[in-house]
Amino acid sequence: MGIEYKTDCPIRAVLKVLGGKWPLLVLSKLEESKRFSAIKREIPEISEKMLIETLKQLTENKLATRKDFKSIPPHVEYKITDKGMKAMEAIPLMRKALSS
Amino acid sequence: MGIEYKTDCPIRAVLKVLGGKWPLLVLSKLEESKRFSAIKREIPEISEKMLIETLKQLTENKLATRKDFKSIPPHVEYKITDKGMKAMEAIPLMRKALSS
DNA sequence: TTATGTACTATAAAAAAAGTATGTACTATA
DNA sequence: TATAGTACATACTTTTTTTATAGTACATAA
């Protein structure tokens, strides 16, 4: 899935994990633990398919955690990790640079 | 061209200008002023079309400058701007976060 | 007069990403 | 027995992005 990047290049490494339309935006909503359905409500433009794929990718890369409450109907919550937080800190810097 | 992003969202603002496969990589090669052909040689995987489009986008956003030597055969050089440099500074931070 | 070099354009084809719609599991509740 | 509720899967279509390929302009040199 996604573009084939050489991860020894820092730029490629970043794009591989955070590039694309949704990962950064989804991650930005996870400062507080949230159910799948709640995230979807906060980002109505995203399709369920993309949200699931994005969340899966984020958890695989340890940028978010997935907590399954093992109940029925299902209850699952996602939350950004410290690693994810650190990565997100670069965004305001970039934004600031771009508006300079 | 590209995805329609609301620029009032910092994440969208960043993605609009630097998202996608090539902008960051191209920008990283422009610390020293370089001819179009030289950039292409440094990034052989990129197609000419994409390189031109990317360079145009970067110059439009003041992340790079384009200097035309008005000669024939053409001689044009591109170079990263201060603004571009500032934006690029966020990359190592992200990279560092991702490998933590 | 013909070939060369260089930035750039234009078109079509291929590949990748995203969107849409529908279906599944499973328990509780009506 | 039928329905609701929730996270997630899967097939299919459409859209977007990228690649590949073939030009164009124009001065200079062979």
Give tens-digit pLDDT for A10-22: 999 999 999 999 9
Mean of the per-residue pLDDT values of chain A? 92
Cβ of A21 near strand C (distance < 7 A):
yes
What confidence tens digit (pLDDT) does each residue in A65-98 have?
999 999 999 999 999 999 999 999 999 999 999 9
Q: Once rounded to an integer, what is the mean pLDDT over residues B13-24?
A: 96
Domain range A10-98, CATH architecture:
Orthogonal Bundle (1.10)
Q: Does domain B22-98 have CATH number 1.10.10.10?
A: yes
Could you give the CA distance from residue B11 to residue A40 in angstroms, rounded to a whole number?
A: 18
Q: Once rounded to an integer, what is the mean pLDDT over residues A5-12?
A: 73
Could you give the CA distance from residue B85 to residue B23 in angstroms, rounded to a whole number?
A: 13
**C-alpha closest to that of A50 among A23, A27, A77:** A23
The pLDDT of residue B73 is 94
Q: Once rounded to an integer, what is the mean pLDDT over residues B60-78?
A: 97
Judge: A98–B14 Cβ closer than 8 Å, yes or no. Answer: yes
Decide: helix, strand or coil at residue A78: strand
Give percent of chain B with pLDDT exceeding 90.
90
Domain boundaries along the sequence of chain A? 10-98
Which residue in A89, A91, A97 is closest to B11 by CB distance?
A: A91
Decide: helix, strand or coil at residue A52: helix
Which parts of B19-70 fold into alpha helices (H)? 23-27, 36-42, 48-60
Judge: B17–A98 Cβ closer than 8 Å, yes or no. Answer: yes
